[in-house]
Each structure stands twice: as structure tokens, then as C-alpha cells.
Amino acid sequence: MIITIIILSVILTFSVYVNLNQMRTQEKQEDYITDLENSNTEYYNFFTQLKTKLGQANSVIRNADRIGAFEASDEIGESFKIIRDVTDDLNKGF
């Protein structure tokens, strides 16, 4: 009878240790998943704001040169064309 009690006590102790270890591991994984979800939300918000700002910048650039004055200039026109092309490419990408 005493041997049975000792064996059951050892099994119970081992079971408690394994369960506590599993609980700690699961809590770490839950924390990691929460951090990952927060990170994804932050990136989504960042790219949404970037897309909005790009649209606004594209509109401002198009309105600034609605009569073609910047394109006609040599140095300014070249810089303006590069900026306009970059904003167009970024706008298409988003």
C-alpha cells in the first residue's frame, strides 16, 4: 500500500511539473501572438496613413502644374517630372 502511495505521489508531482511547464509555454506564445497582432495593426495603420498622404501629395502636385508651367521649365521641370513619376508609381503601388 505504501509503495502505491509513493508511486502515485511521484506521478502526481511529475504531472504537476509538466502541466506548469506547459502553462508557461502557452502564456509565452499568447504574449507573442498578441505582440504580433499589435505590430500588424500598427503596420496597417502606417500604410493606410501613407496611402492617404500619397494621394494628397499626388493631388497637390497635379494641381500645382495644371497649366504645365513646371514642365516647361528646364531644371525645375525635370525635378518636377521625377517627383511626379515617383508619386505616380507609389500611388499605383498602394
For residue 68, is it left (φ>0), alpha (ψ between -120 and 50) or beta? left
Residue bearing the bigger pLDDT, 45 or 87: 45
Residue 67: the pLDDT is 67
Q: What is the pLDDT of residues 52-84, one digit of tens each?
A: 888 888 787 777 767 666 666 666 777 777 887
d(CA 74, CA 91): 25
Per the prediction, the chain carries an average pLDDT of: 85
Q: What is the pLDDT of residues 6-45, one digit of tens each?
A: 999 999 999 999 999 999 999 999 999 999 999 999 999 9
Continuous segment of H or E residues that includes residue 17: helix 2-64
User: What's the predicted TM-score (pTM) here?
Assistant: 0.55
84 CB neighbour count, 10 Å cutoff: 17
d(CA 40, CA 36): 6
How many domains, in total, are found in the chain? Answer: 1
Residue 58: the pLDDT is 76
Residue 33: the pLDDT is 95
Question: For residues 70 and 76, is the Cβ–Cβ distance under 8 A?
Answer: yes
Residue 86: domain span:
2-93
